[in-house]
Structure 1
């Protein structure tokens, strides 16, 4: 089964083979210049976004590349971008004690690990518990978290309070004085905290479904 990372790596390789950037390949293919940009590869809700078969077909036509050659790039992309193991914590476990440093990264040894092909930079995985984020994230789903990444309104985030509570929410609003969090499951109340009550906020960049 072809993975999300393999497909995008093959598109990057196709662009490079033709002396183009990802946006240059899109323009040459008659597509919106941002079609193949890295910012388009993960949706705002953290789910992987796949290129359409139509956009791939146009890129192959524009570069005079046949399907067999593109499949070769898929194999090369897989070998260039192997899965990297990241720490895996349970959400309930994460809220039980001092498992994070001040920046929101797990500390200590002995965590379970899980492989993610697109795990660039410092990241870790959390297994969701509870249903406050259903139906977007369900009990047992695994999310990839990137502390230090910029967060904005509408992002799905992991939040740790100064009292040690760790939760998955949507960032509704953040000011210098207050943080408002939304529960996607309307059976759960939204949460509002004073900014000083928030230890850190980390963006969810990927989720298993």
Structure 2
């Protein structure tokens, strides 16, 4: 990650929110000249880097996460995923048999570049995944991605229940799904009782 990449990321973050570099600095409560081109090099021509404090304040001011900023710095385009809440997700008609989103009712949410995966977003409800995920957080899930013990997953049962859990065990006879919140017990299913599992790739908190 080079000096010019960090500044390019800041410029692109500003443009995404309809701001100049000066406007971005001002929104974050910084000196409006903090990100001006003249401040990016010292009098001797050596590069100046933005401080971690200024980066943190900028990200907070525009409601962006560090992953999102890193995507801009690295030149990853990011994209949009269809978004739906867990309460709706449990209803019929929102997923096909492989766990891909179908039908109407989906909104869109932006996320950092994650490669070529086909993904969708779900908005967490409830507290069974605290402290990792809290109600209102958005998670990006990839149906069809390989899953292994220890992965955080979205699971849909044959009865239509959708949940975010940790895959504790998966054998020919048993699928055990654990909650990160110790107040909630693990749940065990026969493989035939699980319609699909989708690995969680990313979360917006």
TM-score by length of 1: 0.62
Q: Is the aligned partner of 1:96 residue 2:97?
A: no
Separation in 2, partners of 1:156, 1:149? 12
CA RMSD of aligned residues (A): 2.8
Counterparts of 1:83 and 1:146, CA distance in 2: 15
Match of 2:108 in 1: 113
Give 3-state SS (helix, strand or coil) of 2:87's partner: helix
Is there any run of 5+ residues in structure 2 with no aligned partner, and where?
7-45, 50-68
Q: Is the 8 A contact 1:142 1:208 kept in 2?
A: yes
* Deviations 1:177-202 (CA, angstroms, capped at 9, x unpaired): 11001111111121000011010001
Aligned to 1:52: none
Alignment partner of 1:192 is 2:203: no
Q: How many residue pairs were aligned?
A: 145
Residues 177 and 196 in structure 1, CA contact (< 8 A), matched pair in contact too: no
Q: CA offset at residue 130 of structure 1?
A: 0.2
Whole-angstrom distance in 1 between the partners of 2:97 and 2:108: 22
1:122 correspondence with 2:118: yes
- How far apart, in 2, do the equivalents of 1:75 and 1:133 lie? 26
Deviates more, 1:107-116 or 1:136-145: 107-116
Give the structure-2-normalised TM-score. Answer: 0.63
The aligned counterpart of 1:43 is: none
Q: 1:87 to 1:75 in 2, by over 3 A?
A: closer
**2:132 aligned partner:** 136
Alpha-carbon spacing, 1:184–1:68, altered in 2? closer, same or farther (3 Å): same
What's the secondary structure of 1:177's corresponding residue? coil
Structure with max Cα Rg: 2
Q: Deviations over 1:64-100 (max 9, x none)?
A: xx7569xxxx999559433311100101110122210
Unaligned runs of 5+ in 1: 1-5, 12-65
